[in-house]
Amino acid sequence: MIEFRPDGSPLEIDATYKEIGKTRYGKKLLSNGIHAVEVVVGKKRELFLALCEVEHRQKPEPRTQVIVSAKPEAEPPAAKVSSAAQVANEQIETDEFLDAVKERYVPQADEWFEAKIVAGRNPNILTLELTTGDRLPCIPNFVTESPGDHVLCLPLGRIGSVRMELIDQGYYRALEFRIEDDPSVLHEEAKVIRWDAARNIGKAKRPCGCHLFIANAADERLFGFVDVGDWIEFDLERSPTRGNWVGVRAKKVESPQTAQGEAEV
């Protein structure tokens, strides 16, 4: 059986080799107990196999030397010849497959592309769409800039910029997504989920589900001591050190006024 190394070089594997494990990105490990080798699987293997078939078809037939013998020899059995139509169809299918793979653009790590949000409100994934129509997943932690640090409630159709990579299966996935815009509302309310009284900092969860770092609280002697489970109101500002959005001048409130709604972003 013909297999291929990750660099595309062919490798003939006999029946003594068995699969002993799989590695990431479409590769597996084979061994015969003496020698081990890593080979590709899936669409990447199909691509290398198709390339080999194309190269084989393009090689000229070797010239044979004719030897005249006084003793006639029996005629060899006739070789099975594929019809011209069958060969043409196989060539077209191979060319279409190779063209489809070659057309996938390989982005550089520092390249940015316009993308819009087409699916969201899922704590595990955002779906972005490029101007080409390609869709790619983006986990919330990869959203490094957004209005007021909102992620889960970003509205569909909101346009930003994305860095991405092409993975082995021919699909793109986001490395970083940014929306360079300020929030329309700079005063919000949230519920405290973590609080460090000694440092006067913590984390709060807003009605939309997005978390935010609270950089400080207002004078607790006037507005009450803040603790986990309390609702607070605060102002949104850029952190002077990191540049991200944080809540400042947090004040404890008795009951939230916007807990049933979602913050505008």
Please report, for the domain that includes residue 208, its CATH number: 2.40.50.140
Looking up residue 151, the CATH number of its domain turns out to be 2.40.50
Give the C-alpha separation, 153 to 208, whole Å: 6
Whether 8 and 39 share a structural domain: yes
Number of folded domains that form the chain: 3
Q: What is the pLDDT of residue 82?
A: 53
**Does residue 135 surpass a pLDDT of 80?**
yes
Q: Are 11 and 37 in contact (CB under 8 A)?
A: yes
CA dist 45 and 118 (Å) reads 33
**Within-domain flag for 47:** yes
Q: Which domain holds residue 36?
A: 2-57
**237 found inside a domain:** yes
Asked whether the beta carbons of 211 and 217 are under 8 A apart, the reply is: no
The reported pTM is 0.56
Q: What is the mean pLDDT of residues 32-60?
A: 70
Longest CA pairwise span in the chain (Å):
119
pLDDT higher than 90, residue 112: yes
Contact 177, 160 (CB under 8 A): yes
Confidence category of residue 100, pLDDT binned at 50, 70, 90: low
Single out the residue in 125, 143, 178 at which a domain terminates.
178
Q: Are strands 27-31 and 18-23 parallel, antiparallel or unpaired?
A: antiparallel
* pLDDT value for 88: 58
Mean pLDDT, the chain, whole residue set: 79
Q: What is the pLDDT of residue 260?
A: 45
Of the candidates 240, 140, 256, the residue with the CA atom closest to the CA atom of residue 207: 256
User: Quick one: pLDDT at residue 133?
Assistant: 92
Q: Are 137 and 143 in contact (CB under 8 A)?
A: no
In a domain, 201, yes or no: yes
